[in-house]
Amino acid sequence: MNFRRWLPLVMLGFALTAAPARAQQTPPPAPLPGPSSPTPIDRQYDGQTHITLAPYVWAPTVKLNTQFSIPTLPTRPARIIASNIAVGPSDYLPKVDSAFMGAFDARKGILDLFGDVIYLNAASSATFVGTISGPLNRIHIPYTVNTTARISPAIWELAAGVTLAHNDFADVSFFAGTRQFPISTALSYNAVVGRRGIITPSGSLHTFDAADDMILGLRGRVFFNQRLFVPYYGDFGNGSNNQSWEAYGGAGYAFDHGQTIIALYRALNYFNFPLTAHTQRFNMAGPLLGYTFQI
């Protein structure tokens, strides 16, 4: 058989059968459109080291629930006085003596280290009125306790995190760390017992309640475009003598030079202290305004 004679016909047959098959193949999908330039999230994960400082002003309502043992009559046991101290933003000028608030963040790739420091020195006063019952409940002696308390909480937090997922416009990180809350309370009291003030015990108390918590949480940012974004944060803390949680969320604006301005609502709550502790509950919640810049 002469194969050279039939070779052109065989090649023509393959060409005619392959052409319809190629025509029926589905074309590959077009690549999804991406940002024309690196987004703020892209620059955050470019492999370089980024250090950010963020001074801020937080104007929370500060609420502190305390309890003290205050003597009343020499022959009677001390009375437990519960004091509820509340310092609102409108009271800051007369009640806040000093304050400092700031945060930092150091990131390289998916790993980051961040911290936060809050210091607030405030004072408040309260008056308690009650009655002491005598033998067989036949004698009733009224009393009035005037108290002035000063609280000096210095809360600081240090944590390390790893990014769980990120794309061009959002990320989420898991972190673990510690938050310390050494709160000192000074209380001075003047108790007038009896209608004529027969007994007037007075004195002062100084307490120190420390809360060291291990914290776990999530945080990140979601960008709507190259400018507007939503930062979010939430954690839960557990210590030997208390529990705590913190959360914030809000809105931010990113500038071309990499700096941002943020407006948030932030809440920090300490609770579940022992029944014998002077501090029973501590809460700070309110608006926050901050500015971040890189060094």
81-97 residue pLDDT tens: 666 777 777 776 666 67
Cα-trace Rg, the chain: 33
Beta bridge partners, 292, equal: 260
Q: Three-state SS for 29?
A: coil
Of 122, 82, 58, 65, residue with least CA distance to 271: 65
Segment 138-154, tens digit of pLDDT: 555 565 665 565 666 78
pTM greater than the 0.85 cutoff: no
**Does residue 42 surpass a pLDDT of 70?**
yes
- pLDDT value of residue 289: 97
Under the banding of pLDDT at 50, 70 and 90, the label for residue 196 is: low
pLDDT score for 170: 96
Q: Which of 260, 268, 269 is nearest to 230 (CA)?
A: 260
Res 219 pLDDT > 90? yes
Domains (ranges, CATH) in the chain? 39-66+82-138+148-184+208-294 (2.40.128.100)
DSSP H or E segment with residue 252 = strand 243-254
- Give Cα 186 to chain centroid, integer Å: 26
Q: For residues 251-261, give the mean pLDDT.
A: 92
- The rounded distance, in Å, linking the Cα atoms of 9 and 251 is 72
State the residue for tokens 């036949």. 138
Q: Is the pLDDT of residue 198 over 60?
A: no
pLDDT bucket at 16, cuts 50 / 70 / 90:
low
The per-residue pLDDT for 147 is 59
68 φ, ψ to 5°? -135, 155
